[in-house]
Chains A and B, each alone.
Chain A
Amino acid sequence: MSNNIFSRKRFLLLFKQHFIHNAQFLWLSTGAYIGVIFIVLSIAQMGNNLRPHELDSFQGFLVGFVTVFGILYVGHSFPAFRSKESTIGFLMMPASALEKFLFELVIRIGLVLVALPLLYWVVFQLQGYFFTIFTGEAFEPIGVQYLVKLGERPVEHMFLIYSFITGGVLLALSLAFTGSAMFTKQPLVKSLFAVAMVVMFFVGYSYIVLEHLGVGRYNPPEDTMLLAPSGEKSALRAVTIAFFTGTVVMLFVAFRKLKEREV
């Protein structure tokens, strides 16, 4: 690839710059994340007669923490776009649009998918062991594989379910990511509002089509509906494909917004 498209040296310089510029913020955010997890897990355990958390709670809290903190963090992607002055600095930085985009993608979505779950796992173990000081109940550590493993028993259509969840998570994060590339002020609020509007439009549209126009009562022979999913598996597959397609489209929009940004 041409040096004007991607250079490893420049890409690494972006990381170096980010960590030096934002060292204090990153430490404070990590501290806040750890603190909130520890406190919430502790309160939940106290409310459960000090009984240690088990796998179900581990995975429930995992989804909750990573979703809330993840959306908050990804919703503040492209922080330079929040003001005209910092946008100028960002655009004039000697790195290509692709390098800047990939850097932001890694530092935001990559970090949410890797660092937040791992940090949660570490704090979960520490909190569990910490509470054994005050109770007679033994804490059973939960393996790191359960950050991604759904449960003990094999599930039908396992690959499809993993793909469905991954696609859904990626789409949610990429919506927040693209929103922050598009909107200058309060990007997360505006992104959530835009998503809510789109969802409401489609729900309303589907309701009218299915209920009032009678499509819901239309019952054709199965072999004539080649494109419409008829079973559980094909519906899951269709939605998963839609999630991944939506993610790719959103990321492309974010890239174009970065590339064509004017100040």
Chain B
Amino acid sequence: MMVTIKDLKFSYSKKQQPLFQDLQCELPSGSIVGLLGKNGAGKTTLLKLMIGLLQPTEGSVRIIGEQPWDRHPSLLQEVYFLPEEFHHPGISIGNYVKANSGFYPRFDEELLQRLITDFELPDNKRLNQLSYGQKKKFLISFALSTKCRLLVLDEPTNGLDIPSKSIFRKVMAGSLDEDQLVIISTHQVRDVENLIDRVLMLEKGKFIMQKSLFEISSNLQFATATSPEGENVLYHEMVPGGYKVIRPQTGGSSSVDIELLFNAISNGTEKMREYVK
């Protein structure tokens, strides 16, 4: 397993209620995981625990067999974290790559050039002359080019324009190797649709769902209907022209509407939650 979390407990101080209690999770390589949750659910804190920026109060987190809190260089060179807000020096893209690529043994400069072209980034400008979205696109390109085995992206689509979001999904899908795992934390569920193949949903310090999209589509059917009524409807939402509904899967599979699923689990009934447990 690439990521193993066992009995994780964490609180920011002894006086505070624990943010996480007995959290369990296992994530294999070769997948793109969406870490979903409402604002303040603890997504960023969990990511920081995973990469060793915070120390667990109890329990253990292991990444590629190592404890991230030890911050061993052998692990750090296999983990790249792109935070929502980032710091960058006021130097050119070329100099940034020259200064930082050496730390990552599998750094792929050709891939970086390709991604810079895909994102239409100017390579002759200083980083501080780029817009927020352009900086983010460059850092996403850099992150993918490091070829780190674990890429952790916190709200990567924040600040990207609509065409860039689509390019983001395209480059993510096309630049990863089988031994890599990407964890994308977001509350903009639509942005990672058709990209992720596993969903972790966090609420009040607990995972309320840990499933692959294949498992979800085997259990649940996402459809449109003219009426919200029906004994099998687990959840419905009114949309122009009818209703989006979730029913138990009766045979075959349907594509998963992640936004609908997210709303269904966050606002839906216990019965709905039971289906995805």
- Separation of A261 and B212 alpha carbons in the complex (Å): 35
The 8 Å CB contact of B73, one of A4, A80, A88, is: A4
CB of A89 within 8 A of CB of B87, answer yes
Please give the distance in Å from A172's CB to the nearest CB on chain B: 30
Residue A97 interfacial (CB < 8 Å): yes
Which residues of chain B from 58 to 99 have any CB-CB distance to chain A below 8 Å in the complex?
A: 71-74, 76-77, 79-81, 83, 85-87, 89-91, 95, 98-99
CB of A262 within 8 A of CB of B98, answer no
CB of A92 within 8 A of CB of B98, answer no
- The size class of the interface chain A forms with chain B is 20 to 34
- Separation of A83 and B72 alpha carbons in the complex (Å): 23
CB of B76 within 8 A of CB of A92, answer yes
Contacts of A145 in B (CB 8 A): none
The 8 Å CB contact of A7, one of B73, B80, B81, B100, is: B73
CB of A262 within 8 A of CB of B55, answer yes
When each residue 156-171 of chain A gets 1 if its CB lies under 8 Å from chain B and 0 otherwise, what string results? 0000000000000000
Please give the distance in Å from A4's CB to the nearest CB on chain B: 4
- Separation of A10 and B104 alpha carbons in the complex (Å): 10
Contacts of A99 in B (CB 8 A): 73
Number of B residues with CB within 8 Å of any CB on chain A = 29
- Separation of A89 and B54 alpha carbons in the complex (Å): 14
CB of B55 within 8 A of CB of A20, answer no
Q: Write 28 A-B pairs (CB below 8 A) sorted by A numbering.
A: A3-B73, A4-B72, A13-B102, A16-B99, A16-B102, A17-B103, A20-B98, A20-B99, A21-B89, A24-B90, A80-B87, A83-B87, A85-B83, A85-B85, A85-B86, A85-B87, A86-B87, A88-B53, A91-B52, A92-B51, A92-B81, A93-B76, A94-B76, A94-B104, A95-B76, A95-B103, A262-B54, A263-B53
With A17-B99, A93-B103 known, 6 other A-B pairs at CB within 8 A are: A85-B86, A91-B53, A92-B53, A95-B103, A96-B71, A263-B48
